[in-house]
Structure 1
């Protein structure tokens, strides 16, 4: 399963949920999830989040490697390996582990993003040892044949055909990403380019596996009806004997300066409504002018993060220029992020008129900023929007894992509420001026081939 970072809708939502929950009660991370962290001698980092309200446990193993770490010419390799990890090992035949998890009433899945790959199971607490045994085994004992490679490569190619090549909206998004980033590997689709997927072979797969799939390059998150001491004992038993792997550096090509605005125009027979979007290059927690990351989260909420936002209120409700309008932003990338805006014009409105109306709202923020009440309400909306994050079976593990794999430390995460609360109106203007630069943007227009 692919997740197109930074648009990890579920993870982004639950991350907001967690932070909103912290802020709503004015307490720290330790008082919300009360995480316990320890590291095995082989370098495996383990975080335990105890919640005894339901007899269920999420076991989630994250690797510090994603599609942005694919070798040049081998796009899609990280995602391909995710698929192949469900093949056989020295201990379990192909498909046997999945059957065991199903037989004990558990579920499993995996996902690849630009920055990480994760595998998870949801099981009853008494079966935690079973999934630890399975996951620890395939960390270093994966066995693949040429037949495995060929058959699963066909599966991935069919996935690309069905989800991307036969979907004009998906193809349009690929073109936007390739235009947004000039060199940085976020410009390459997670699933990979078709002509490169077709050439992926067992040599490339095993080299990638041996390089990245090691305990010192992984984080294990256990959340649910468990105790930290029991988890530590089990983790030592199943993961502790795995040898530490070589230290690997994540080397990524940086973008050169963006000096010209870009436009991507495409027509499609699959849609009936014109779609307009613009993406601005933006910092993340770890990349660029990261001091703006907290203000940008609130700027996004005020500009287009909800039906109470400026874009929706002005363009959809009041002026009726658009049938939809909004924005998005994610700070949790290892690399650069984007602040994106989208809208679709009502019948009779031109793209030029729609674009002008959106630029007007941006100019108002740049010149006049946001009001005190807008900023206060934005913070309250973030609290209200996701208050039930802790009640989710998988959200705690996803939230903590996503943030750790995006470069944050467990002890750092708790400061989010305070940093959001400290954002001022001037911070919003400063962040807007840093990001809203046309020479660092891509505008996309996807329109019907035969408009009605």
Structure 2
């Protein structure tokens, strides 16, 4: 880890990590929403969007085009104290990031038409926040905790009136003031040579001059709140929600470590204090979370909760006060303190698996204090005492320093409607970071150019033993896959059970999800608390779902991890009390879904597409079906499908094959096989014309899904369709046709996409185009979808488009193999779909051989612009 400061003030941080041929290059500017003045709120985020609109050297769309054609991906984000931009590339082409960042540091264009298009996108992004009940609470909490003219009073995205009125001149002046080498930090992590990086940075940035303007310091941001503040929002919802914020300290303050420890104690895992009391024992809430968010000048410690049906805000607040008082008056046990330290030590190792994670941590710490915080943190946490934690609780958890915002149902009777029975899926308080593009749209292609553009060919060489895994089958039919991976002392294990929604009867919709969630809620040898305590005490993770269980531990804890994995897979007891609690949580989750217009529209679309097929139902089931599920039905479902001859066990990590084989046989040999029922096939009807349904919800946006039935993963045309998707609707940035047209050019939405390969499994998936937009824009969006579908079915894609998609897919291939968890899931897919051990080497060539004629053929065969379903929810349109 090295820090270099250049003559023009630019700071460079570098870390060499040669395990995988990947480089993350990020640049951080010391400017965020806290630097904004009245009338210009949201200007930092607005400028972040415009930084992708081009320069004289890189015209509109060229940044995304060059990134994609070199197999990389990029994004940007803005928060209170900084704006950051990042690129991920294979290590043989990462210097392109320097060329782009150096150029747009000084030469960003401010085309009036582009400003107006992006203004529309940002307003749609703001409406998404306003439509979210949690977003409403967060905005109210921040504005109340930080009264105007405090720099944190306004949301990072800005107030709507300001976003609508910010001018080109204001944007240009803001850019000229803050975007300069003396206000920036470059962080480059990965398969690099530090000396060469320093030379390259000097070559690209050395000639840039510091800002000609005096860079304004942030206005003072310390709030001396001396009286508790309370707000209540009455929402179109049946769920009672709470967010609390306590004023605390910044990252550099010595109390940061104790406050972090309190965060772990209160809400990390099922053995945490709040989860045990509020969710497990007293069942006051279905969800609780805490989050300690440090800023440059101050910090906030957040509490978040969603109450259980029939419980009151007064009950919850009284119990929370008791928990805080206990922490202020009693020392935590040595066991609890050691658990926190073990979690920190394990996370420090897990976080090193990706170059992006390390680069982002170093950059943020440098913005808020110093990058050295990263390396000091584990040691400082190891030195932490119970006395320091108690003192921090006394100092900061004072009622006069807190603000509470309740979100209560507008109609009090609505809370009791529909069911009388509880979601860990309710969103936790995490970060106020606002991204240029939704992060979930930026992941590399999930399947695992032209030949000259394959990234890191040596890494994927067929001669290399790096990806040659072991495979064997136990006498009971359990398929075991193992890959040695000695880069870090980590072991990831994933047991995939071929069960799920396709195995459910109509009257038992949701049984797969409930069964999966109950696997870790008690076995014949361990209680739910015992299971959670065992895995959390070593800083590992265990996640049970409808199709199996995943475990990750440090390699020294392999025995414990395998023991727990086998126990929850083979011996769950489906405890009656735990079953009722989980059932209630799922019912609350379904209620949340029924209030989210995007989810409403998606579930409506699935129902229209799949007809009588089990996939027509929401994955969690219906309220009426979940309410009727009983322990006997769960046991029967489990005993039918959770069998070794219906399971693939994938293990990747820092351990020798002989030890893995012996350990697996010791823990899984007694699991008994049983014939698995053959599932009936279903005829799925196709639509005639446009079949449209709309569900009215009074929200700012309307969410639209358009499409029809898709294909299976084993369809021989899967790969041409996969490439077609990157041309049509899921290319990186705005390189695909639909994103470029509907978002980048027309400014209709923040989030828009279309693809057919993403949902393909053994059962057919869906062709699905999605947009969230204002009601007045919805007809234009649908016209845009149909127009682009028609075009790709009627004309050959251009050679440039095809080459771009191929180069991106093959160039970014390496990002699928960065972590042990990714590798474990890759092995499962190879086995499930019989791709062959050599698939990892064949895949780039498969992509390269696809022609424009192949794209036209599959588009004509599998897409239909005349006969499709159109599902929407939100305001009428």
User: TM-score category by the smaller chain?
Assistant: 0.7 to 0.9
Aligned length: 411
Residue from 56, 76, 83 that aligns with 1:110: 76
Tell me the equivalent position of 1:446.
407
Tell me the equivalent position of 2:278.
315
Distance 1:255 1:396 in 2: 29
Q: CA 1:367–1:376 in 2, change beyond 3 Å: closer, same or farther?
A: same
Q: What is the Cα-based RMSD across aligned positions, in Å?
A: 1.6
1:185-205 deviation line (CA, Å, top 9, x unaligned): 222100000011111011110
Tell me the equivalent position of 1:250.
217
Residue aligned with 1:387, SS: helix
Deviation at 1:102?
A: 1.0
Residue from 172, 184, 188 that aligns with 2:137: 172
Q: CA 1:302–1:240 in 2, change beyond 3 Å: closer, same or farther?
A: same
Q: CA 1:354–1:226 in 2, change beyond 3 Å: closer, same or farther?
A: same
Distance 2:299 2:350 in 1: 27
2:195 matched to 1:229?
A: yes
Superposed, 1:304-383 pairs within 5 Å as 304-331=267-294, 333-383=295-345
2:247 matched to 1:285?
A: no
Superposed, 1:60-139 pairs within 5 Å as 60-139=26-105
Distance 1:131 1:273 in 2: 45
Deviation at 1:413?
A: 3.9
Q: Are the counterparts in 1 of residues 33 and 42 from structure 2 also a CA contact under 8 Å?
A: yes
Tell me the equivalent position of 2:266.
303
Deviation at 1:150?
A: 1.7
2:382 matched to 1:421?
A: yes
Tell me the equivalent position of 2:226.
259
1:311-355 deviation line (CA, Å, top 9, x unaligned): 111222122222222322133x10221112222222222111111
Residue from 179, 191, 213 that aligns with 2:157: 191
The structure having more radius of gyration, on CA atoms, is 2
Residue from 15, 20, 23 that aligns with 1:57: 23
Q: Extract structure 1 runs of 4+ deviating beyond 6 A.
A: none
Unaligned stretches of 5+ in structure 2?
A: 418-877
Distance 1:155 1:312 in 2: 38
Q: Are the counterparts in 1 of residues 88 and 94 from structure 2 also a CA contact under 8 Å?
A: no
Deviation at 1:399?
A: 0.9
Superposed, 1:376-415 pairs within 5 Å as 376-385=338-347, 387-408=349-370, 410-415=371-376
Tell me the equivalent position of 2:106.
140
Q: Are the counterparts in 1 of residues 21 and 91 from structure 2 also a CA contact under 8 Å?
A: yes
1:380-405 deviation line (CA, Å, top 9, x unaligned): 12233453111113111101101001
Distance 1:267 1:63 in 2: 38
Deviation at 1:442?
A: 0.8
Distance 2:221 2:25 in 1: 34
1:169-227 deviation line (CA, Å, top 9, x unaligned): 21221011111123532221000000111110111101100000001110111111110
Tell me the equivalent position of 2:496.
none
Q: Are the counterparts in 2 of residues 306 and 326 from structure 1 also a CA contact under 8 Å?
A: no
Distance 2:26 2:323 in 1: 42
Tell me the equivalent position of 1:8.
none
Residue aligned with 1:101, SS: helix
Q: Are the counterparts in 2 of residues 38 and 46 from structure 1 also a CA contact under 8 Å?
A: yes
Residue aligned with 2:270, SS: coil
2:4 matched to 1:41?
A: no
2:260 matched to 1:294?
A: no
Tell me the equivalent position of 2:146.
181
Q: CA 1:201–1:439 in 2, change beyond 3 Å: closer, same or farther?
A: same
Distance 1:362 1:88 in 2: 51
Unaligned stretches of 5+ in structure 1?
A: 1-34
2:392 matched to 1:431?
A: yes
Moved more, 101-110 or 177-186: 177-186
Q: Are the counterparts in 1 of residues 141 and 244 from structure 2 also a CA contact under 8 Å?
A: no
Residue aligned with 2:287, SS: strand
